[in-house]
Amino acid sequence: MADASSQRDQHRRPPLKGRGTASNRSGRFEAASYHGVDDGWASSDDTDLPPLRTTLSVDTSRTVITYNKSPDLGFDRSINPYKGCEHGCVYCFARPTHAYLGLSPGLDFESRLFFKPQAAAVLRRELAKPNYRPRPIAMGTNTDPYQPSEQDLGVTRSILEVLWEHRHPVTITTKSARLLRDLDLLTALAGENLLHVAISVTTLDPSLARRLEPRAATPSRRLAALRDLAAAGIPTAVMVAPVIPALTDHELEAILEASVANGVGKAGYILLRLPLEIKQLFQEWLQQHAPDRADRVLSRMRAMRGGKLYVDRFGERMRGRGPFADMLEHRFRIACRRLHLDTPVPPLTTDLFRRPPGQQPGGEQLSLI
């Protein structure tokens, strides 16, 4: 366990350029825990650390569709082309998943990535199973499908190609304008009522965004992407996520107004979530980047989480509870009603689904026997 002095030393470590956290604390499953401590021998040159390079490893998972039974999610299946995310959002609720790999939810999560080069082929096999029943597949639920590595790897595009080929509905959530590269596929899917797209906007302040989400698209680029998607006839939504009390919550209405001005027709929000290792990572971030607001942010979080920094109960983990949480939800509903963002969105169709040929020798004919 780290003592108070090592905690303070960790807070004083300079942030790494282009990274969301300066910490690489061990994951919760590791037998040993390592912490940086200032031994008094540091010089001014020691703070000029070399850039932390991103490494990519192959993920050989034999399935790509993940199923869930969560009552507070609007989908029952998802695909994540990547494990880890180079965007480096310090608050990312997916960070603790890297602990299952024996890695840190800190810097490892945003610099040691895993990708699924065979995702398209594996997906096609899963869709071909006789007992498969189509329902919308959500992409971007854990890590961003359009993070920087996608530009060269194209894993997300290969998945969308399979989904389009077989007319399978899909939803996409991202913080990147990089999805405009795939506008041809997105337009085709949307034209058959097979696609909804949501872009997350946490803040309109580019300086704050750079510190919170160092490698994600700037707020202005995300809004421009929403405009281009809407102009192409693609149903779009803005996710004000996460809402950080006493840091970004005052921007809620402004984000919704800016999104409507760029053609958005639907909106949602999620309160900041701090499960497992993220509690410590986020507190370190506050001490580095917003020390004057740290106590207020954490106090407000506890007020919305029943005295804790996080509660994982269904129905509460996304919204919180108590007067502040109720006020936030009330503000959101009033703004959506005023901006006409409360119109129901028609569900995506599953009627067009074309099952891939069976995997038996002889293909589709034998799959009918």
Q: What is the pLDDT of residues 135-148, one digit of tens each?
A: 999 999 989 999 99
363 CB neighbour count, 10 Å cutoff: 12
Q: Is residue 47 assigned to a domain?
A: no
Number of separate domains in the chain: 1
Closest CA to 86 of 139, 143, 160: 143
Percent with pLDDT over 90 in the chain:
76
What local confidence, expressed as pLDDT, does residue 74 receive?
87
pLDDT tens digit sequence for 228-284? 999 999 999 999 999 999 999 999 999 999 999 999 999 999 999 999 999 999 999
pLDDT tens digit sequence for 267-326? 999 999 999 999 999 999 999 999 999 999 999 999 999 999 999 898 898 999 999 999
Q: Is residue 2 assigned to a domain?
A: no
CA distances, 225 to each of 220, 221, 308, 362 (Å): 9, 6, 37, 44
CA distances, 132 to each of 126, 141, 215, 358 (Å): 7, 21, 37, 12
Q: Tell me how far apart the alpha carbons of residues 318 and 270 are, in angstroms, rounded to a whole number.
A: 5
Q: Tell me how far apart the alpha carbons of residues 308 and 278 are, in angstroms, rounded to a whole number.
A: 13
Q: Tell me how far apart the alpha carbons of residues 25 and 328 are, in angstroms, rounded to a whole number.
A: 33
Q: Tell me how far apart the alpha carbons of residues 190 and 237 are, in angstroms, rounded to a whole number.
A: 14
What local confidence, expressed as pLDDT, does residue 42 receive?
58
Residue with more model confidence, 7 or 197: 197
7 φ/ψ angles, rounded to the nearest 5 degrees: -60, -45
- Check residue 146 and report its DSSP letter: T
What local confidence, expressed as pLDDT, does residue 196 receive?
97
pLDDT tens digit sequence for 53-112? 899 999 999 999 999 988 888 899 999 999 999 999 999 999 999 999 999 999 999 999
**CB–CB of 65/126 below 8 Å?**
yes
pLDDT tens digit sequence for 347-369? 999 999 999 986 544 444 444 44
What local confidence, expressed as pLDDT, does residue 37 receive?
63
pLDDT tens digit sequence for 157-207? 999 999 999 999 999 999 999 999 999 999 999 999 999 999 999 999 999
What local confidence, expressed as pLDDT, does residue 6 receive?
40
What local confidence, expressed as pLDDT, does residue 73 receive?
86
Q: Tell me how far apart the alpha carbons of residues 71 and 340 are, in angstroms, rounded to a whole number.
A: 27
What local confidence, expressed as pLDDT, does residue 35 receive?
63
Q: Is residue 105 assigned to a domain?
A: yes
Residue with more model confidence, 368 or 335: 335
Question: Nearest 5°: CA angle at 268, between 290 and 208?
Answer: 20
Q: Is residue 279 assigned to a domain?
A: yes
CA distances, 8 to each of 35, 36, 283, 327 (Å): 11, 10, 11, 34
The domain of 340 spans: 13-29+54-345
Residue with more model confidence, 26 or 103: 103
What local confidence, expressed as pLDDT, does residue 11 receive?
39
What local confidence, expressed as pLDDT, does residue 3 receive?
39
Q: Is residue 23 assigned to a domain?
A: yes
DSSP string, 147-210: STTHHHH-HHHHHHHHHHHTT--EEEEES-SGGGGGHHHHHHHHHTT-EEEEEE---S-HHHHH
Average pLDDT over residues 216-229: 98
Q: Tell me how far apart the alpha carbons of residues 33 and 47 are, in angstroms, rounded to a whole number.
A: 23
First and final C-alpha spacing in the chain: 61
Question: What is the overall mean pLDDT for the chain?
Answer: 89
For residue 241, what are its two tokens?
């996520």
Average pLDDT over residues 19-48: 68
Closest CA to 141 of 207, 70, 39: 70
Q: Is residue 39 assigned to a domain?
A: no
User: Would you place residue 7 in the very low, low, confident or very high pLDDT band (cuts 50, 70, 90)?
Assistant: very low
Q: Is residue 45 assigned to a domain?
A: no
What local confidence, expressed as pLDDT, does residue 311 receive?
92
What local confidence, expressed as pLDDT, does residue 39 receive?
64
Long-range contacts from 333-341, C-beta under 8 angstroms, 24+ separation? 335/252, 335/253, 335/256, 335/257, 336/256, 336/267, 339/256, 339/257, 339/260, 339/267, 340/260, 341/256, 341/260, 341/264, 341/265, 341/266, 341/267
Q: Is residue 239 assigned to a domain?
A: yes
User: Would you place residue 8 in the very low, low, confident or very high pLDDT band (cuts 50, 70, 90)?
Assistant: very low
What's the CATH number where 340 sits? 3.80.30.30
**CB–CB of 44/103 below 8 Å?**
no
